[in-house]
C-alpha cells in the first residue's frame, strides 16, 4: 500500500492504487466544506457522548475525544490547522487529526456513524444557525421600513399600475407594502427552520446501525426538535436546503423589486427620492451622472440566488435513494445563498435607515399630472346616483379635456366640469385634491394616513412579539 492510500479517507484497504491527482482534486470538497467545521465538531461530541452513555465507547475514550476535539477547534480558529486535500473533506480531516492527537479513541469515534449521516447533520446544524441570524437581519430591515414610514405618513405620491399613474397613495403606505412582504419572508424562514431542525444522525450509511444507539439523546444534545424518521430519507434528501433557498429567493425577489423602484425613483425623470451619495457612484465620462449602484447590484444578485435554487432542485431530481456523491454539490449554492442574502439584507437596511430622502413636491406633481384623482371623480358621480360605467365615461372625457389644456383636473373650472355631468357641483374640488383622495380610502389596508398610522403600530407590535433582538 502506498503512503497516499494510507493517508486518504479510511477506505483505502480495498483499493489497489491511489486515486489520480485529477480525481482527487475533482472529488474533494475540503476547499469549501471546511466551513462546516464547528457543526462537525459539535455533532461528533454529541455522538461520542451518546456512544459512551450507551456503553459502546469507554469513558476514557470519550475523555480523549473531547480533549482532542477541543484542541482541533482551537487550532482551526487560530488558523493553525493544516487542511489536506488528500483527506478529501472536513469530516476526514478532523477525524484524521483527532487520531493523530489521541490515537485509538479517535479511530473509534466513527463507530455507528457514516459520513452520509454526518454531513447531513452538519449542514442542518450550520443552516439552522444561519437562519437564526438571517431572521435577525430581516427584523432590522423591517424596523427600518417602519421607521422610515412613520416619518412620512403624510407625503403623497402617485400609486402605479402598469407603471402608469393610477391613484394617489401615501409614501408610507408604499413602504409598508415591503414590510408586509418581509414579515411573510420571516414567517417562511421560521417555518423552513422547523424542517431543517431534525436529526439525521443514526441513519449511518443508509440503513441504520447495529449498535444500540440512542438517537433521541443526540437530538436533545444538539437541540434538534425531532429525528428524521427514515434512515434512507435522512441521508439522501436535501429538501430542507431547497426550501430554505426558495425562501431566500423570495426575499431576494422582494429586495430586487424594491431596488427597481429606488432606481426609478432616483432617476431625474421621476425625481421622487434622493439616494445618499455613499450608495451611488459617478461616471468616469459623464460628469452629471449619479448611478444607483447598490440597488442595481441587489437586483443583479437576486438572479444569483434564484440560480442556486435551480442548482439544488436539479441536483436532487435524478438521484436514486439513498446517498449519492451528487449531494456534495449542495454546499456552494447553499453557502453563497446565505452570504449573498446576509450581505444584501445588511446593505439594504443601511440604505433604508440612512440613504433615502423623499422629495414630496416631485411626487405630488407626478400624481397631479397623471390625473390620479380621476377615480375619485367617478366615485363622486356614483355617490350622486350615476351608474359606475357612465361615471367612468364622463370622467374619461373630463381627463381628455384637461389633457388637451395641459392642466390638472382640479384646475378645470366648474362650468367646464359640468359639461361632462350635470351632477357635478362646487364640492367636487374636495374629492379632486390629493389629500381628499387618500383620506377617503379609510379602511384596514387602505392608504389613508389614519389607517397607515394604525398599520405602522400593528406592524411594530407584531415585530415586537416575534421577540427578535436586533
The residues assigned a catalytic role are 162, 283
Q: Which is nearer to ligand ARG, 86 or 137 (CB)?
A: 86
Collapsed DSSP state (helix, strand, coil) of residue 146: helix
Nearer to ligand ARG (CB atom), residue 156 or residue 334 = 334
Cα–Cα–Cα angle for 434, 439, 440, nearest 5°? 100
- In DSSP notation, 82-121 reads ---GGG-SHHHHHHHHHHHHHTHHHHHTTTT--HHHHHHH
**Contact predicate 212/94, CB 8 Å:** no
Q: Least distance in Å: CB of 182 to ligand ARG?
A: 32
Residue with Cβ nearer ligand ARG (209 or 451)? 209
Closest alpha carbon to 353 in 135, 147, 172: 147
Q: Answer yes or no: are the C-beta atoms of 145 and 178 closer than 8 Å.
A: yes
Q: 191: helix, coil or strand?
A: helix
Gyration radius of the chain's alpha carbons: 31
Closer of 121 and 249 to ligand ARG (Cβ): 121
* H/E segment holding residue 358: strand 356-358
Q: How far is the CB of 88 from ligand ARG (least distance, A)?
A: 7
C-beta separation of 394 from 386 below 8 A:
yes
Give least dist CB 325 to ligand ARG, A: 6
Burial of 281 (0-12, 13-18, 19+ CB in 10 A): middle
CB of 205 to ligand ARG, least distance (A): 7
Between 143 and 328, whose beta carbon lies closer to ligand ARG?
328
Cα torsion 314, 318, 321, 325: sign: negative
Quote the least distance from Cβ 56 to ligand ARG, whole Å: 22
Q: Which is nearer to ligand ARG, 279 or 323 (CB)?
A: 323
In the complex, least distance from residue 20 CB atom to ligand ARG, rounded to whole angstroms: 17
Cell of residue 59, nine digits? 469513558
Alpha helices in 318-448 (DSSP H): 331-354, 360-369, 374-383, 388-405, 414-420, 428-432, 434-440
> Phi/psi of residue 155, each to 5°?
-80, 130
Nearer to ligand ARG, 30 or 135 (CB): 30
Residues in contact with ligand ARG by CB under 6 A are 29, 33, 89, 115-116, 119, 323, 325, 327-328
Q: Closest distance between ligand ARG and the C-beta of residue 320, in Å?
A: 14
* Rounded Cα gap, residues 272 and 363, in angstroms: 5
User: 127: alpha, beta or left, given left = phi > 0 and alpha = psi -120 to 50?
Assistant: alpha
Amino acid at each position: 500500500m502506498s503512503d497516499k492510500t494510507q493517508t486518504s479517507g479510511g477506505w483505502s484497504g480495498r483499493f489497489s492504487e491511489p486515486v489520480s491527482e485529477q480525481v482527487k482534486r475533482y472529488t474533494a470538497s475540503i476547499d469549501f466544506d471546511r466551513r462546516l467545521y464547528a457543526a462537525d465538531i459539535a455533532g461528533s461530541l454529541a455522538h461520542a457522548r451518546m456512544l459512551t452513555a450507551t456503553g459502546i465507547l469507554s469513558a476514557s475514550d470519550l475523555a480523549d475525544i473531547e480533549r482532542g476535539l477541543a484542541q482541533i477547534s482551537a487550532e482551526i480558529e487560530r488558523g493553525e490547522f493544516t487542511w489536506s486535500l488528500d483527506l478529501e473533506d472536513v469530516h476526514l480531516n478532523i477525524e484524521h487529526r483527532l487520531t493523530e492527537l489521541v490515537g485509538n479513541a479517535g479511530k473509534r469515534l466513527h463507530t455507528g456513524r457514516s459520513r452520509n449521516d454526518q454531513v447531513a447533520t452538519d449542514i442542518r446544524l450550520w443552516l439552522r444557525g444561519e437562519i437564526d441570524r438571517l431572521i435577525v437581519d430581516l427584523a432590522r430591515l423591517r424596523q427600518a421600513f417602519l421607521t422610515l414610514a412613520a416619518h412620512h405618513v403624510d407625503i403623497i405620491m402617485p400609486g402605479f399600475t402598469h407603471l402608469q399613474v393610477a391613484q394617489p397613495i401615501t409614501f408610507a403606505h408604499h413602504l409598508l407594502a415591503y414590510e408586509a412582504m418581509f414579515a411573510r419572508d420571516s414567517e417562511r424562514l421560521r417555518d423552513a427552520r422547523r424542517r431543517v431542525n431534525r436529526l439525521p444522525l443514526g441513519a449511518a450509511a443508509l440503513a441504520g446501525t447495529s449498535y444500540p444507539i440512542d438517537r433521541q439523546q443526540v437530538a436533545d444534545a444538539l437541540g434538534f426538535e425531532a429525528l428524521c424518521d427514515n434512515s434512507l430519507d435522512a441521508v439522501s434528501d436535501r429538501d430542507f436546503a431547497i426550501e430554505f433557498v426558495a425562501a431566500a429567493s423570495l426575499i431576494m425577489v422582494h429586495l430586487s423589486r424594491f431596488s427597481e423602484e429606488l432606481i426609478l425613483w432616483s432617476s431625474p425623470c421621476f425625481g421622487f427620492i434622493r439616494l445618499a451619495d455613499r450608495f451611488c457612484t459617478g461616471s468616469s465620462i459623464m460628469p452629471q451622472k449619479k448611478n444607483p449602484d447598490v440597488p442595481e447590484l441587489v437586483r443583479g444578485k437576486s438572479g444569483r440566488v434564484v440560480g442556486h435554487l435551480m442548482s439544488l432542485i436539479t441536483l436532487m431530481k435524478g438521484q436514486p435513494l439513498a446517498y449519492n456523491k451528487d449531494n456534495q454539490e449542495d454546499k456552494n449554492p447553499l453557502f453563497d445563498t446565505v452570504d449573498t442574502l446576509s450581505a444584501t439584507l445588511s446593505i439594504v437596511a443601511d440604505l433604508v435607515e440612512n440613504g433615502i430622502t423623499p422629495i414630496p413636491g416631485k411626487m405630488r406633481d407626478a400624481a397631479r399630472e397623471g390625473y390620479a384623482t380621476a377615480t375619485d371623480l367617478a366615485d363622486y358621480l356614483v355617490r350622486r346616483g350615476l351608474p359606475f360605467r357612465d361615471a367612468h365615461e364622463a370622467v374619461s372625457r373630463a381627463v381628455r379635456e384637461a389633457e388637451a389644456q395641459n392642466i390638472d383636473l382640479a384646475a378645470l373650472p366648474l362650468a367646464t366640469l359640468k359639461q361632462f355631468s350635470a351632477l357635478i357641483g362646487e364640492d367636487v374640488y374636495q374629492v379632486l385634491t390629493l389629500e381628499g383622495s387618500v383620506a377617503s380610502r379609510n379602511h384596514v389596508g387602505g392608504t389613508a394616513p389614519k389607517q397607515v398610522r394604525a398599520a405602522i403600530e400593528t406592524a411594530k407590535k407584531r415585530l415586537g412579539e416575534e421577540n427578535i433582538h436586533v
